[in-house]
Amino acid sequence: MADQDLPQLYLVTPPALDPDTFPDTLARCLDAVEIACIRLDLATRDEDSIARAADAVREVAHARDIAIVVADHVLLVERLGLDGVHFTDGARHVRKTRKDLGADAIVGAFCGASRHDGMNAGEMGADYVTFGPVGASSLGDGTVAEFELFEWWSQMIEVPVVAEGGFSEERVRALTPVADFLSFGEEVWREADPAAALARLAAARG
Please tell me the total number of residues recorded for the chain in this structure. 206
Nearest to 40 by CA among 89, 86, 107, 94: 86
Q: Which residues contact 146 (CB under 8 A, 6 or more apart)?
A: 113
Is the Cα torsion angle 147, 148, 151, 152 positive or negative in sign? Answer: negative
Q: State the Cα angle at 51 between 46 and 54, rounded to 5°.
A: 125
Residue 39 φ then ψ, to 5°: -115, 125
Helix (H) or strand (E) holding 57: helix 47-63
User: For residue 5, what pLDDT is reported?
Assistant: 85
pTM: 0.96
User: For residue 142, what pLDDT is reported?
Assistant: 87
Q: What does each of the 206 residues of the chain score in pLDDT, given as a tens digit? A: 234 589 999 999 999 999 999 999 999 999 999 999 999 999 999 999 999 999 999 999 999 999 999 999 999 999 999 999 999 999 999 999 999 999 999 999 999 999 999 999 999 999 999 999 999 888 988 899 999 999 999 999 999 999 999 999 999 999 999 999 999 999 999 999 999 999 999 999 99
Cα of 138 vs its chain's centroid, Å = 15
Cα of 45 vs its chain's centroid, Å = 19
User: For residue 2, what pLDDT is reported?
Assistant: 36
Q: Which residues contact 80 (CB under 8 A, 6 or more apart)?
A: 50, 51, 54, 55, 58, 70
Domain ranges for the chain, please list them: 3-201
Task: Provide the CB-side half-sphere exposure for 51 (13 A, CA).
Answer: 8
Residue 168 φ then ψ, to 5°: -120, 170
Residue 60 φ then ψ, to 5°: -70, -45
User: For residue 138, what pLDDT is reported?
Assistant: 85
- Start-to-end C-alpha separation, the chain: 7
Provide CATH code, domain 3-201. Answer: 3.20.20.70
User: For residue 66, what pLDDT is reported?
Assistant: 98
